[in-house]
Structure 1
Amino acid sequence: MKIEKNLLPKSIVELIIEEDAKNIAKYRKKAIAHIEKNADIKGFRKGAKIPENIIVRQYGEDYISKITIDFAIDNMYREALRNEKVVPVAQAEIKEIISESPLKIRVHIEVLPEIEIDAKYKKIKLTKKAISVSAAEVKKSLEEIETKFTKFEEVTDKKSKVKMGDKVTIDTEGFENGVSLESTSMKDYPIVLGSNVLVPGFEEDMVGAQLGDSLELDVVFPKDYHNDAFKGKETKFKVTINKLEKAVKPEFTPEFIEQLRGQKLDLDGFKKLIKEEITDTKESNARMEEETQLIDALLKVTKLDLGDGILKTQIEKVYTEIKENLGQQNIKVSDYLESLKLSEEEYKETNVKPTATKRLQGELILHKLAELEKLEVSDTEMEEEIKTILTRFGSKDVLKRLEELYIPGNKYYEELKQRVKYRKLIDSFFEVKKAAVKK
């Protein structure tokens, strides 16, 4: 077999492969055996031994030649990959059969792109922002949990007054100059005062009213209201309070906290845990920002020509993630695309492709840099990383499952090791800037 190798743009390797004429006979035998196995010839049961001359008479030399060439090309391609140490990243393309005798083909194979990183990368130094969490942020998180688990108990005392945080069920209708306005009538509409769901001023003006009261509220719609017909409009709303429910907030007892996080903690311990969770979230977001910042800097000193196939795969991967995220929000992809007035292909080109390109460039550059820097992750570093992960979980069952996953050789362990390696790499480009401590 003769092989000529050429490097083309877009990370394409061109192989011109010529098979030895003496080998074609063995591919013809394979073709005959393949046809024989699947033949449907009168007088022979399927799978039976059939003389070659009968197969030739039944199927013709042209068909046998086609199958022979298919077998030959498949073998030529695989052997050429091994000999030239070419690793495809996408489906190869047979560009042409140059000749049949001798059999000679031209194949285009997309491979990982060559990455040239200028030595200037060593001079890149970026600033890492230190992470801090204020007491106000912890308090806000507690309030959000409190709101989520707040229950409401109905009151029947007509003298009970409405206040912020109560839930009221109302009938309401808007009027302008005594004429009812379209789309303003609501029956038995529940609203928690202070949730700011209704027009500004509406909820506040109900404070102090009593169960069963009928009110008239003067409301001015905001100038930037989403409905053009109501922008800046002065409207009188007639409101009847049909039902009043008082908020019953949860108590942060050790038992309640255990239901929330699987750990029996007092309030101070829970606040500490929440602070750790907020810190983790901030650090995760900061790392994504730092990686983006670093990739932007590295791209300026890197030559990288992405192939079409590997980029197409990444585009589909990112698009699948977007669809899954929309699905979690109960949003249909078709509805989402319709709201953007874009077809699927247009959306992929304008919205998905830039994200996929940047992500793929980043992955390839970081992988190359890790090789250049000869970065390794020690067993001690992995033990510390796993220990940090495990301390976040209080459930013994969860801990046991995680301990079983993070074993050397296990794919979860190796994926974690790769993440730690990239984190070390990214951190090496950043200098820490101390943040002011928030009270």
Structure 2
Amino acid sequence: MQVTETLNEGLKRGYDITVTAAELDAKVNEKLVEAQPEVEMKGFRKGKVPMPLLKKQFGERLLGESMQEAIDGAMTEHFETTGDKPAFQPKIEMKNGEEWKEGDDVNVEVSYEALPEIPEVELKGINLEKMVVKSDDAAVEEALANLAETAQDFKSRRKGSKAKDGDQVEMDFVGKVDGEAFEGGSAEDFPLTLGSNQFIPGFEEQLVGVKAGEEKDVTVTFPEEYQAEHLAGKEAIFSCTIKDVKEPVAAEITDELAQKFGAEDLEGLKGQISERLEAEYAGAARAVMKRALLDELDKLVKFELPPSLVEAEAGQIAHQLWHEDNPEVEGHDHPEIETTDEHTTLAERRVRLGLLLAELGQKAEVEVTDAEMSQAIMNQARQYPGQEREFFEFVQQNQQMQQQMRAPIFEDKVVDYVFELATIADKEVSKDDLQKAIEALDEE
């Protein structure tokens, strides 16, 4: 077998590989000798089929296998010898494919982009600030007030008050289509919060301004795609009798409210809120510090990047940003999206940092455990209520999906590894300062 270098420019590599006909024939014969003892054929005892007959029967298939094994072996040996790691799957083309016939040498052209050598980084020389926010009484009280609003109650408005958007209207109603009452179109003492979009479009808006004791006909048209086919697209009149108009009020901050949220009493709820706030602050502070670390690493290291990786990443960035600007387009049936210099610059940063973190993680022997992967899959499966098992099985069978889920876990573990080596100084800040820092991340 002969391997000849044809291209070595930057990270681009090219090679011609020649596997001689004699080498292929020797490989085929080797496979036939190995298989002969187990072969049975009519007219011959097991293991006694003549070699020429075996070659005539199985030679063509084994020739293809031998050809593939020879090329794969040459590539494996090449990467072990040179230390090259391809950025993408190498492109392999048979140069004499159309004219090739049994008895000819096999000439293959191989091309790929090699991953660059990553320079060493003195991680102990990195200096970072960690924003620290204390969970004070004011923050806990504010969170408590927000909880009370989510658990809001309703109390009757003063007699004669008109219903406003957000109020709750308690009523009896009967719905009719073509003068006939229909199943499911009537109720008594029904509490409807105006603006909740609980009823079909146009219904709640017509009740704004009603008073307790008033009767009002509400005319609406069922949507064309309404789930009950006999009502789809039909006009309906609902005769409503308003029994009460209630305004929203925040729930009282008491032990009873605390128990609604799983705490024993109000002090217990305050403790839970304090812990949750500090966990949220710590998570936000980590995100800010991670961005600072990535910025620092981006300044510290420069190396050549595989053009194909940058091009693919820039295309992905452009595609994602286009969909964010055009949220009404759900599929990918849209014009070709061109990448800009801004997309390419961002792609270069992502590829550079991705390669660097991968190198740091490999040297530090950072691994994503099966338990961490299972936890990540379960967390994501919760987004599909009732289909958790199907989602779990889908991920288990999909290597690409597994890689997509493993990558951010690996990155965070490498970042934590670098945090342990870097010099980190705590900086006590206000909640507002931390919030501004988080908002700045989204703007970049």
Q: Structure 2-normalised TM-score?
A: 0.50
Match of 2:328 in 1: 339
**1:276 Cα deviation from its structure 2 partner:** 0.7
**1:303 Cα deviation from its structure 2 partner:** 2.8
Secondary structure, counterpart of 1:94 in structure 2: strand
Distance 1:22 1:214 in 2: 98
Q: Structure 1: where are the runs of 5+ without partners?
A: 172-186, 216-238, 323-332, 378-411
- 8 Å CA contact 1:11–1:112 kept in 2: the answer is yes
Match of 2:439 in 1: none
1:423 alignment partner, one of 407, 419, 423: 419
What does the per-residue CA deviation read over 1:187-233, in whole Å, with 9 as the maximum and x for residues that have no partner?
999436899xx9xxx99x96xx7424589xxxxxxxxxxxxxxxxxx
Distance 1:358 1:37 in 2: 59
**1:302 Cα deviation from its structure 2 partner:** 1.6
Distance 1:65 1:146 in 2: 76
Distance 2:153 2:119 in 1: 61
Aligned 1:208-219 pairs, distance under 5 A: 210-213=211-214
**1:167 Cα deviation from its structure 2 partner:** 2.5
**1:283 Cα deviation from its structure 2 partner:** 1.3
Secondary structure, counterpart of 2:328 in structure 1: helix
| CA gap 1:101/1:163 in 2 versus in 1, 3 angstroms | closer
- 8 Å CA contact 2:305–2:351 kept in 1: the answer is no
**1:286 Cα deviation from its structure 2 partner:** 1.7
Secondary structure, counterpart of 1:168 in structure 2: strand
**Aligned-CA RMSD value:** 6.4
Match of 1:394 in 2: none
Secondary structure, counterpart of 1:108 in structure 2: strand
**1:73 Cα deviation from its structure 2 partner:** 1.8
**1:93 Cα deviation from its structure 2 partner:** 2.2
2:109 alignment partner, one of 92, 95, 106: 106
| CA gap 1:424/1:56 in 2 versus in 1, 3 angstroms | same
Distance 1:262 1:316 in 2: 50
**1:317 Cα deviation from its structure 2 partner:** 12
Distance 2:44 2:252 in 1: 81
Match of 2:278 in 1: 276
Q: Structure 1-normalised TM-score?
A: 0.51
What does the per-residue CA deviation read over 1:30-75, in whole Å, with 9 as the maximum and x for residues that have no partner?
5657998999998899x9875443355457x776644432232233
AA matched with 1:26? A
Q: Structure 2: where are the runs of 5+ without partners?
A: 173-186, 217-239, 367-407, 434-444
AA matched with 1:290? A
Is residue 94 from structure 1 mapped to residue 95 from structure 2 by the alignment? Answer: no
Distance 1:128 1:170 in 2: 56
**1:273 Cα deviation from its structure 2 partner:** 1.8
Match of 2:403 in 1: none
Aligned 1:27-66 pairs, distance under 5 A: 27-30=27-30, 32=32, 50-57=49-56, 65-66=63-64
- 8 Å CA contact 2:18–2:108 kept in 1: the answer is yes
What does the per-residue CA deviation read over 1:98-156, in whole Å, with 9 as the maximum and x for residues that have no partner?
7986555332344433346899x999978766656676654443333333334558x69
Distance 1:313 1:40 in 2: 54
Distance 1:83 1:250 in 2: 74
AA matched with 2:282? D
Distance 1:74 1:12 in 2: 20
AA matched with 2:353? G
- 8 Å CA contact 1:19–1:103 kept in 2: the answer is yes
Size of the aligned set, in residue pairs, is: 339
Match of 2:169 in 1: 168
**1:244 Cα deviation from its structure 2 partner:** 3.6
Match of 2:352 in 1: 361
Distance 1:91 1:249 in 2: 61
- Same amino acid, percent of matched pairs: 19
Distance 2:7 2:254 in 1: 66
Match of 2:151 in 1: 149
Distance 1:337 1:264 in 2: 46
AA matched with 1:303? F
Secondary structure, counterpart of 1:302 in structure 2: coil
AA matched with 2:151? F
**1:279 Cα deviation from its structure 2 partner:** 1.0
Match of 2:268 in 1: 266
- 8 Å CA contact 1:337–1:343 kept in 2: the answer is no
| CA gap 1:3/1:94 in 2 versus in 1, 3 angstroms | same
Distance 1:258 1:67 in 2: 68
